[in-house]
Amino acid sequence: MTSRWMLRLRRMRFVKLAIVIFASVAPVWPQAGQLKTADAVLDRYKHALGGADAIAKVQSLTVHGEFEGTGMSGKASFVYYAKQFKTLMKVTRDDGSQVTSGFDGSVSWSIDSQGATIDKDTALEAVRRDADLQYALHQPDYFKNLDFGGVADFEGRRCYWLHGTTHWGKDNNQFYDVETGLLAGYRFQSDDRSAAATIALFQDYKNFGGPLMATKLTFRTGDRSRTFHYKSVTYEPLADSLFELPPAVKALLK
Residues 6+ apart with CB under 8 A from 35: 41, 44, 148, 160
pLDDT for 221: 79
Q: Where are the domains of the chain?
A: 4-21+39-253
Residue 150: burial class (beta carbons within 10 Å; 0-12, 13-18, 19+): middle
pLDDT for 27: 47
pLDDT digits (tens, 9 = 90+) for 8-29: 554 443 333 322 223 334 444 4
Query: Is 231 within 8 Å of 90 (Cβ atoms)?
Result: no
pLDDT for 224: 85
pLDDT for 254: 85
Tell me how far the alpha carbon of residue 4 is from its chain's centroid: 2
Distance separating alpha carbons of residues 241 and 1, to the nearest angstrom: 22
Query: Is the domain defined by 4-21+39-253 classed in CATH 3.40.190.10?
Result: no
Which of these, 76, 126, 122, lies nearest to 99 by C-alpha position?
76
Q: Which residues of the chain have pLDDT under 70?
A: 1-33, 195-196
Distance separating alpha carbons of residues 217 and 4, to the nearest angstrom: 11
Distance separating alpha carbons of residues 118 and 56, to the nearest angstrom: 30
What pTM, to 2 d.p., does this model score? 0.87
Residues 6+ apart with CB under 8 A from 121: 192, 193
3-state secondary structure of 44: helix
pLDDT digits (tens, 9 = 90+) for 130-171: 999 999 999 999 999 999 999 999 999 999 999 999 999 999
3-state secondary structure of 152: strand
pLDDT for 71: 87
50 Rama class: left (phi>0) / alpha (psi -120 to 50) / beta = left
